[in-house]
Amino acid sequence: MTIDRTIASDDAANTPVAGSATKARMVGGIPVAWQRTAFFIAVVIAIALPFLVKNFTIFQLTTVMIYAIAILGLNLLTGYNGQFSLGHSTFIAIGAYTTAILMEFAGLSFYGTLPIAATICFAFGFLFGLPALRLESIYLALATFALAVATPQVLKLSPFEHWTGGVQGLLVFKPEAPFGLPLNSDQWMYFVTLAIGLGLAVCAVNLVNSRSGRAIKAIRDNPIAARAMGINISLYKTTTFGISAAYAGIAGSLSAVVVQFVAPDSFTFVLAIGLFVGLVVGGVGSITGALFGGLFLVFVPNIAEEVSKGLAGAVYGVILLLVIYLMPAGAVGLIRTAAMKLATRRR
């Protein structure tokens, strides 16, 4: 289920290994041909899957991609720009509620609400990025965590109840496939999410490898040097925060229609922590990693529950610890190391 593995190539180019060019065209120590093949296979599988598995599995995979989009946004912020966030559930909530409220009260179609949700989240993220400028690592983690904890309470605040539905939440209608396409609504939302996810991943790759992207990374690695080179740190940091929030908002908007329901309890700090875990497990500073993060978030709690119902939380915790010990660079790091070893051996 790796949809965009070539993307890792661009991504891996940033690692110092790239300097050792040999006869075969290599990026990040892995032959480009391998990555192309992997990407091609992954896309074929991703397109074929909805016709092969049950609707329920399609729903799960759609959820995986939605999480992946949010984690991708978080990765731009934390992995590439070095700003912590334990509060991205807030932006998911804003995105989801924007879509739900606009569909319910303004009669907009889902597709119409998507860009609005992204824009609103960008604005919120940008604004939150301003105070965040003054906060260093752990303090920023705490401030964003505070945001995540406060979100459900704000969502059910009685003065807003008319629009938010208060604690009862809002029901959302799931769009059917247009133009008489022979797809059911689960399959259709899967492809919508896949297309949006791929599009956002391509945007992320381009951003990271652009001039701005290098500035964003320079700020992470050495803010003082970056400033000396004339990079406007405040502007880059707040804009990155905004973009990251917009990604989360799009994920939220998609989740509202896929789950067909929004409520304050859907967006607790548990979600924010989940996204953070997904980021680290998938691979910090890796575009492909987001997908593994999404897979982890959807499937590992189910596995933990299979192992023991009473101790599901403990099993989850132990799995998490093992993952950190065994894959310090995340799932993508592990795959990359394995592929590099394989490539070296073949030479």
The residues in 4-43 that bind another protein, with binding defined as CB under 8 A, are none
298 is a contact residue toward another protein (CB under 8 A) = yes
177 is a contact residue toward another protein (CB under 8 A) = no
Q: Which is nearer to another protein, 38 or 254 (CB)?
A: 254
For 288, which DSSP code? T
314 is a contact residue toward another protein (CB under 8 A) = yes
Q: Of 132-151, which residues contact another protein (CB under 8 A)?
A: 134-139, 141-143, 145-147, 149-150
In the complex, what is the shortest distance from the CB of residue 24 to another protein, in angstroms, rounded to a whole number?
Answer: 32
325 is a contact residue toward another protein (CB under 8 A) = yes
Task: Give CA torsion, residues 35, 40, 41, 43, to 10 deg.
Answer: 120
Q: Which is nearer to another protein, 312 or 343 (CB)?
A: 312
60 is a contact residue toward another protein (CB under 8 A) = yes
For 176, which DSSP code? P
51 is a contact residue toward another protein (CB under 8 A) = no
Helix (H, G, I), strand (E, B) or coil at 174: coil
Q: How many CA atoms lie within 13 A of 346 on its CB side?
A: 13
Helix (H, G, I), strand (E, B) or coil at 272: helix
> Using CB under 8 A, which of the segments 20-28, 102-110, 231-239, 301-309 binds another protein?
301-309
Q: Of 178-237, which residues contact another protein (CB under 8 A)?
A: 224
Q: Which is nearer to another protein, 247 or 267 (CB)?
A: 267
Cα–Cα distance for residue pair 320/120, rounded to 1 Å: 34
94 is a contact residue toward another protein (CB under 8 A) = no
Q: Which candidate, 231, 199, 237, places its Cα nearest to that of 215?
A: 231
Residue 142, exposed/middle/buried by CB under 10 A (0-12, 13-18, 19+)? middle
In the complex, what is the shortest distance from the CB of residue 185 to another protein, in angstroms, rounded to a whole number?
Answer: 11
Q: Of 237-256, which residues contact another protein (CB under 8 A)?
A: 255
# of chain residues touching another protein (CB under 8 A): 72
In the complex, what is the shortest distance from the CB of residue 273 to another protein, in angstroms, rounded to a whole number?
Answer: 6
Residue 138, exposed/middle/buried by CB under 10 A (0-12, 13-18, 19+)? exposed
Helix axes 137-155, 269-282, angle to 10 degrees: 140
> Using CB under 8 A, which of the segments 4-12, 129-137, 195-203, 229-237 binds another protein?
129-137
CB 126 within 8 A of CB 242: yes
275 is a contact residue toward another protein (CB under 8 A) = no
Query: Within its chain, how far is the Cα of 72 from the centroid?
Result: 3
